[in-house]
Structure formats: C-alpha cells, structure tokens
Structure 1
Amino acid sequence: MSLSLNQWTTRRWSVAEAVDGCVRHGLAAVGLWREKVAEQGLAETVRLVREAGLRVSSLCRGGFLTAGGLPGEEDRHAFARALDDNRRAIDEAAELAAACLVMVVGGLPGVRAGAPLPASGLSREPAAGGSAPCPPGFSRDLAGARERVAEALGVLAPYAGERGVRLALEPLHPVYCPDRAVLSTLGQALDLCQAYPPEQVGVVVDTFHVWWDPRLSDDLARARGRIAAYQVCDYLHPLPADVLLGRGMMGDGVIDFGPITRAVAGAGYTGDVEVEIFNADVWAADPNDVVATMKARYAALVPAG
C-alpha cells in the first residue's frame, strides 16, 4: 500500500496546488474531488496529473441516488437527474484514469445533506396511533430508499463497466443515514456488490465510518477482491456540533488502525491509502504542515506491520 492525499484534507488547495504538494512531499497518488476538478477544468486536471506522474486513487464523489420519490411514486425527474449526474461523474473518472469513483449513495428522499427536515406545514403532533404526516418530497421509508440505490446501481454499473470505471460504494457511519448514506455497514455495501463483477462494483473501507462495527472483521474477510479504496482518518471524541467535521488526524481520536489495515491487506488490497479529513482546524492550518503531519502519523500508526 502507498500513501495518497485526499484533496479534501487540504481543502484550500486547488487541483494544481494539490498536485504540486504531492510531488514536493513525495506522494505518488492523489484523491480528487469533482468540485475542484471542475474549477481547474477536466482537461487541465488530466494534464497536470499525468505530467506529475501521479495516480488518481479515487474521484469523489458520485451517488445521492435516492433523490426524488421512491419506486412507484410520481416524482422520477429528480432520480433521472441523479442518474445523469452520475454518468457524467463516471465519464470524468474514466478521463482521469481514477482507480474508482466513490459513491456516497444518499439518505432519505427529501432530506438535504446537513439541512433541517423540510417544513411540513402540519402539526408536529402525531395522528392517533401513528406518526406525523410527511411533508411533500420527504419519506421515512428507509427500506424503499435502499431499493432506490439498488435500482440506480443496476443502471450505472454496466455504464461504468463499459468505460473501465469501478464504482466504490461507501458505507457511512449511521449518524449520516438520514441525509447522506442509507448504507451504514460494510456488510450492506458488500451485499449490493454481489450482482456485479468485482472490477465493476467494489466498496470503500473508511476507518471513520466502519471502526465501530462488530462485524467488521468478518465483513473484511469476505471483501476479498471488492475493496476499491481504503481511506483513513481518526474518529474524534466528543464529536463537534457539526458531526461532518468530526474526522481527525490519525492519533487524535479513538481508532486502532493496525488491526483494520491488517484485515484490509488480508483481503488482498494493495492499492493506495488515502487520508481524508473533514476538520475545521485542519483546513485552517498550513496545508504543507498538514501533509507533513499526515505522513508522520501514517507511518507511525497505520501500516499493517
């Protein structure tokens, strides 16, 4: 395994600055974000990465496949737009020769990431014997949302396969289930993969999201051939008010990285290891200092040996 900088860890850096930073710090790979690639321009990003001799360990992100209604409901337009955006993401990943396209599959329909629930205009008191009615566009049907993800995967996996792109389903910690990912465990993601060839659909193992799972060892053992990306950062305790920013530098939280890395290696993964951190203090620091700390903490805490 080789260390890779996920671009969001040094969020202030543009693609050009991140590529330059990787070269200066001796890293062989970079994980890119679509927003940053769009700012730099896709063609220019491809040129910069190739001239620097870097691998693109991942492109983040596709997904948010639960938009609109649920199967059988009227609103299919948002779902169609989500599929179109994911096709564009697949095309971008192909141009970048990315090892995978990370798929954050989306939360409950009608819940926007990080935003309050839509106002219902109704009393918050539940009806007798039931729960409060849902506001328009919002659904509490978790099983139905997962069905929508499976439906979308049936459309997108063949499209990705034709273009040599591997979709990487990322389970997120359950705290993000309402608004970001109705896949909460590695086992759920692996179950969805089984209908597709491993080179077409795999999984992301992100320590922040999976460290707590009592079935993690068993699921990593059955993930052989399916791990498309391995991402590391620490889980801070207590979490900040904005739980999205609870990802810390390795060693600043509660995760024991060695056993997870050994299990990932035992499942046959030999790809890059991305450090992906969402943290206001990390983002405010000098990106060069962040990368230097990242390299030191990775070497001390993450390898399987």
Structure 2
Amino acid sequence: MTAPALPSGDTPAGGATPAGRVTPAPGLERFSFNQATAQHWPLAEAVAGCAAAGVTGIGLWREPVQEYGLDRAARLVRSAGLTVTSLCRGGFFTTPDWWDENRRAIEEAATLGTRELVLVSGGLPAGSRDLDGARRQVTDAVAALADEAAAAGVRLAIEPLHPMFSADRCVIATLGQALDIAERFDPAVVGVVVDTYHVWWDDTVYAQLARAGDRIAAFQVADWVTPLPEGVLLGRALPGEGCVELRRLREAVDAAGYTGPVEVEVFQASLWSRPGPDILAATIDAYLAHVP
C-alpha cells in the first residue's frame, strides 16, 4: 500500500470527499491510527494514507500539528473525512510553564475537533523526592483547568503511565490513581486513558476498568516485549508481538461501557524506520488479528 499524492489546497486523496466521511474498511469501524506509530510520516501523507485505507480516525500529537499549522491541520483532517480521536498531549504539571501550555493544548484540541486531550502528568520536580506532593500538584492542576476545558468542549483525559516512568515523566502510575483524581469531576470533563502498555501488569486493572465506567475517555493499544528493545520509552510493540492479553483488556473496556475508538500507539525506532504506508498496513494487520 502506498500513500496517494496530496493535491493542492490541503485536500487529501483517498476514501472521502471534502463533504463526506471515510467509509471504514471491514473490521476497522473502531480502529484509529495514532500518529506516533509512524513518527516520521508527514502529517498530510498520514492523513491521506489513513483515508485511502478506510481508517476513519487518527490520534494526533501537538508538535507535528504545530509544525504543519493548527488551522491548516484542522482543515486537512476535516477535508479527508477523518475524525481526530485524541490529541497528545497536555499535562507535565510539575513544570513551571504548565498553566500556559495546557491552556494552549485545550485550545488546540477544540480547534482540531477532538474531545479528548490526553494528559501525561509529569514526573517529580527537579531535585524532589516528594511523590505524594507531586501527585497533589496534578490534582490541583486538573481542578484549575477543568472549567476552561468544559467551556471548550474538551475532556481532560488523565493517562497513567507504567511505574518505570514515575520519576521523569508521569507520577500517576495506575488506573486507580488516575480515577482517584477523575472521580472528583464531572465525567464529561475529566476522564482517564486506558493504555494497555501501561496498565496490563496491574492485578487490579480489571476491577479498576469496571469502576471507570463512563470515565474511560480513550483506549490505546500496544504490546509489551522483553527485554525492552530500545529502552523504556521506545519499547512498545505491535499487537501480538508481546505478552499482553489485548483482546481480554479490550473486552473489559467494552464491558465498562466504552464504545469509542481503539487507537494503536506504538513507539519503536525499528518500526519508525519503515515507510509510513508499510507501518500503517502492518498496524492494521496486527490490530485485526489480536484486538477485535
């Protein structure tokens, strides 16, 4: 599969006219392709490739959107007939500029037409060992942003990351911790992200999924392989390449009441070295074999 050329005017070729929506390919009714899975695929080509493949949803990241131009990116996705299923990322609440950055992230999510702004909460402040204090900072920051997010029609989606990231990336390490924060707010305003790579190991995860109910804002899928091939950040694998019970987790998420997109999000340098269309095709094949 090769990505079609992009005509002028930010109108992608593929399976939709500017006025229409992409018709999903069989089995891909819920599938969404997270942009980070093909890190080096230009945004316009990724959008066109998804549309041509019958992929209806794409998860976007702020940095490539900003590079392309926010308003231009919003037009691009709309004209392709795609839905932006999430925007990564806000958060990093333990850094000095968290307030301005997160207000911008809310505005960007609203402009792109996505309800879900993924929050990676941030690690310990420089020089700190106060994990409890850092988690309180996250709670206070979410509270400070909630009204602004609600006014913009954006949900703050708290993503717990595997505990190996607690020091430098995310002090919220379990789904239970994320829910402890989210439950203080209207579920239409603050929810949680369930990412299989980060939660599969937790012996309480199925009870926490049942607890989460309509607070599940996004469901992301990646597999876990050992030894981690490229370090903790780039150690993810395509569905079926590792040890995670992906279908069981998907069934539990569905049983909790979630009916939304299933985003495949894989950070792996060896995967990124392949052409974007090949990555998309491999991701679709892995998803169909191991997730629905």
Partner of 2:229: 240
For residues 118-137 of structure 1, the C-alpha deviation after alignment (integer angstroms, 9 at most, x for no partner) is: xxxxxxxxxxxxxxxxxxxx
Structure 2 unpaired stretches of 5+: 1-28
Counterpart residue type for residue 4 of structure 1: S
DSSP-derived class of the 1:46 partner: helix
Partner of 1:211: 200
DSSP-derived class of the 1:242 partner: coil
User: Given the alignment, which residue of 134, 154, 158 partners 1:169?
Assistant: 158
User: Given the alignment, which residue of 14, 30, 43 partners 2:71?
Assistant: 43
For 1:241 and 1:274, locate their aligned partners in 2 and report how far apart those are by CA, in whole Å.
22
Partner of 2:260: 271
Note the C-alpha offset of 1:240.
Answer: 3.1
Asked if 1 retains the 8 angstrom alpha-carbon contact of 2:33 and 2:55, the reply is: yes
% same residue: 53
DSSP-derived class of the 1:59 partner: strand
For residues 180-229 of structure 1, the C-alpha deviation after alignment (integer angstroms, 9 at most, x for no partner) is: 11000000001100111111000000000000000001000011000100
For 1:99 and 1:14, locate their aligned partners in 2 and report how far apart those are by CA, in whole Å.
23
Equivalent residue runs for 1:149-298 within 5 Å: 149-240=138-229, 242-298=231-287
Asked if 1 retains the 8 angstrom alpha-carbon contact of 2:115 and 2:153, the reply is: no
Partner of 2:99: 83
Structure 1 unpaired stretches of 5+: 68-77, 111-137
Note the C-alpha offset of 1:158.
Answer: 1.1
Check if 1:96 corresponds to 2:118: no
DSSP-derived class of the 2:226 partner: coil
Counterpart residue type for residue 31 of structure 2: L
For 2:226 and 2:275, locate their aligned partners in 1 and report how far apart those are by CA, in whole Å.
24
For 1:245 and 1:216, locate their aligned partners in 2 and report how far apart those are by CA, in whole Å.
23
For 1:206 and 1:244, locate their aligned partners in 2 and report how far apart those are by CA, in whole Å.
14
Note the C-alpha offset of 1:239.
Answer: 1.0
For 1:14 and 1:285, locate their aligned partners in 2 and report how far apart those are by CA, in whole Å.
13
Partner of 1:22: 50
For 2:245 and 2:143, locate their aligned partners in 1 and report how far apart those are by CA, in whole Å.
36
Asked if 1 retains the 8 angstrom alpha-carbon contact of 2:230 and 2:269, the reply is: no
Partner of 1:115: none
Counterpart residue type for residue 49 of structure 2: G
Note the C-alpha offset of 1:241.
Answer: 5.1
Check if 1:53 corresponds to 2:69: no
For 1:104 and 1:226, locate their aligned partners in 2 and report how far apart those are by CA, in whole Å.
16
For 1:99 and 1:263, locate their aligned partners in 2 and report how far apart those are by CA, in whole Å.
23
* Closer/same/farther in 2, CA of residues 287 and 241 from structure 1, 3 Å limit: closer
Which structure has the greater CA radius of gyration? Answer: 1
Asked if 1 retains the 8 angstrom alpha-carbon contact of 2:221 and 2:264, the reply is: yes
- Residue correspondences, number: 264
Equivalent residue runs for 1:97-112 within 5 Å: 97-110=113-126
Partner of 1:5: 33
CA RMSD of aligned residues (A): 0.9
For 2:203 and 2:54, locate their aligned partners in 1 and report how far apart those are by CA, in whole Å.
36
Note the C-alpha offset of 1:42.
Answer: 0.4
Question: If the length of structure 2 is used for normalisation, what is the TM-score?
Answer: 0.89
Partner of 2:60: 32
Equivalent residue runs for 1:126-165 within 5 Å: 138-165=127-154
Farther-moved stretch of structure 1 (84-93 vs 290-299): 290-299
For 2:115 and 2:279, locate their aligned partners in 1 and report how far apart those are by CA, in whole Å.
24
For 1:237 and 1:286, locate their aligned partners in 2 and report how far apart those are by CA, in whole Å.
25
Asked if 1 retains the 8 angstrom alpha-carbon contact of 2:176 and 2:208, the reply is: yes
For 2:45 and 2:99, locate their aligned partners in 1 and report how far apart those are by CA, in whole Å.
31
